[in-house]
Amino acid sequence: MTEILDISLPVIVFVLFSLLTIPVVKTIRKRKIGKTALKLGWFSTVFIIAVISVANLTLKYYAQPSPQPFLNVTLTAEPLAMFSTTFLVDAVSIYMAIIFTMVGAAVFMYSLFYIDSSEELSERYYSIMLIIIGCVIGTVFAGDLLTLFIFWEATAAGSSFLMLYWKTSKSLHATLKYLVMIIIASAFIIYGLSIVYAITGTLNFWAVKNALMALEDKHLLEIAFIFIAAGYSIEAAVVPFHMWLPDAYTAAPASSSAFLSALVDQGSYYVLLRVLIYILTPSTVLPWTLMLAVLSALTMVVGNLLALTEKSVKRLIANVCIADVGYNLVAITSVTSLGIMGNLYFFLIGGITTALSFMTVGILNNMGFETLNDFSGVGRKMPLTSLALLFAAFSFAGVPPFAGFIAKYLVFTSAIEANLSWLAVIGVLTSVIQAAYLLRLINYMYAKKPQDEAKIKEPKKLLAVIFILVTAIIVLGIYPTIVLNLIDPVIQQLPFIP
């Protein structure tokens, strides 16, 4: 019983507090003074409790060197056990829960201080953000394909509210596009899952994997794979299913773009990783490597080329997110322990870097700078904000000593290790394109003359949050061992991967 509590506590904390947030924040808003301080106090409490619950899990299980998952909990007794909700805790899920809580807290702080040009953010907004964090953490603790699906779709549904927040025609369009894509995706996934259930008679990760390994006739499985992979690829914005992402991310307020890119986006990669590597493992279950390799090459090329032609800076960053999907896929397709390590490191760094850039671009957008041309000379007008964006850009481009470099290094090395050198070559070449357009952005910021000389006052509180993340990318770039040691237990749990 304590085991169930251990697992579900982080999820319960977020969901419960998300419900409590509405009345609490409503009360706070009625007060005249100290609103921000009170809100900060309330949300700090939420996150401290959440951190305690995750820390509890970590301390109890994480350090155990065990080739099996630490916990595998079924909620229903026989005879429906095969079809029941299960939770599973292994090293990956704990690691993901840790980074979701950490990065979530940082983005949350930002949205607390982020005063929109028109109004302050409503209590529903915070509540939805909390519930999404809860759902993402639920996703990583899911132990069977159905639970994974339910939590993940809940995340997607919640995200659509964040995109819809401004209720302009642009954001309505973007949300509609997103919802249609997500609904198609979930239909695909459900169809694929039903086939999997038909073949194996179970949905539990380990049971499914064992049943599939013993499977003789794999024709049905191939169909199921196509549907499942396509479905989750749509949600992760793999090219050619990427069209919704730039619209969705640009339609949302900056704090939600940061939130979506740092948590939901990374969550979608996690789902791909879990389903493809842990369940449909290549060579033992189904050889899908080449197909995904082609998709990842396509994603890197298209994402970077789209960003190269982009004029609006926020859309440019959104297109970088697409390119990042490609880099993550490179590591997933390599199916090596180095690749998984690269993936997990990339989840954290990609999340931090995209969040960082959306945050800074959000501040600049609020000051009325939207396109590359508007960005002329902001380096002199708003030096600190621009500096943060500069660091984020270099981290994206994979220039050491920023953390993005180590992430890319791991990814490309894993591709070479898996005999996919051509993919690594495409990867580094697109990474040069990436450096080119990010440098063009920097050129605009520092080389061009500003339209007027007036200095703009920079929001100090937001910058405090931003510079926490900047410190993180520099420290993790110079000394990645902190996180790589944290990932190590995951690698110990991959007996089926070379």
Partner 1 sequence: MQNTLLLTLLLPTLTVPFVYLLGRKSSKIASFLVALICIINIALLSTTVPSILNGADHKYVESYYWIPVLHSSFTLFVDGISFSMAIITLILILTAALFSINYMQERKGLAEYYALLTLLSIGLVGVFITSNLMLFYFCWELMLVPTYFIIGGWGYKEPYRAAFKFFIFTHAGAVFVLLGIGAIFMVTGDLDMFQAQAALMTANPTLVEWILLSFTAGFAVKMATVPVHMWLPDAHSEAPAPMSALLSGVIISAGAYAILRVSLGTVFPALIATEFGRQFLHGLAIFGILSAFFGSLIALVETDIKRIIAYSSIAHMGYVLFGLSLFPFQEAITGTVLHLINHAVSKGLLFLSAGAVMKQLEIRDIREMGGLAGQMPITATSSTTAALSIAGIPPFACFISEFLIFVGAFQTINNDNFYLIPTALMLIATVLSLAYALRFVGHVFLGSAKREKVTEVPFFMKLAMIILTAFVIILGVWPSFFVQLIMSVTFI
Interacting residues toward partner 1 by CB under 8 A? 341, 394, 397-401, 405, 409-410, 412-413, 416-417, 421, 424-425, 428-429, 431-432, 435-436, 439-440, 443, 446-447, 479-481, 484-485, 487-488
User: Cα(490)–Cα(223) distance, rounded to whole angstroms?
Assistant: 30
Phi then psi for residue 197, to 5 deg, are -65, -40
8 A C-beta contact, residue 473 and residue 359:
no
Q: Cβ 419 to partner 1, closest distance in Å?
A: 10
Residue 46 or 340: the one with the smaller Cβ distance to partner 1 is: 340
Q: Cβ 379 to partner 1, closest distance in Å?
A: 10
User: Cα(321)–Cα(185) distance, rounded to whole angstroms?
Assistant: 19
Phi then psi for residue 285, to 5 deg, are -105, -55
Residue 87 or 405: the one with the smaller Cβ distance to partner 1 is: 405
Q: Cβ 443 to partner 1, closest distance in Å?
A: 5
Residue 58 or 443: the one with the smaller Cβ distance to partner 1 is: 443
Residue 139 or 413: the one with the smaller Cβ distance to partner 1 is: 413
Residue 12 or 439: the one with the smaller Cβ distance to partner 1 is: 439
What are the b/e assignments for 78-108, b being 16+ CB within 10 Å? eeeebebbbbbbbbbbbbbbbbbbbbbbbbb
Q: Cβ 491 to partner 1, closest distance in Å?
A: 8
8 A C-beta contact, residue 359 and residue 466:
yes
User: Cα(300)–Cα(330) distance, rounded to whole angstroms?
Assistant: 9
Identify the helix (H) or strand (E) that includes residue 80: none
8 A C-beta contact, residue 223 and residue 199:
no
Residue 142 or 476: the one with the smaller Cβ distance to partner 1 is: 476
Residue 86 or 353: the one with the smaller Cβ distance to partner 1 is: 353
Beta strands in 272-416 (DSSP E): none
178 C-beta neighbours (distance < 10 Å), count: 23
Q: Cβ 186 to partner 1, closest distance in Å?
A: 37
- Cα–Cα distances (Å) from 360 to 386, 471, 472, in that order, read 7, 15, 15
Q: Cβ 378 to partner 1, closest distance in Å?
A: 15
Q: Cβ 331 to partner 1, closest distance in Å?
A: 12
Preceding amide of 65 cis, omega within 30: no
Residue 170 or 455: the one with the smaller Cβ distance to partner 1 is: 455
Q: Cβ 485 to partner 1, closest distance in Å?
A: 7
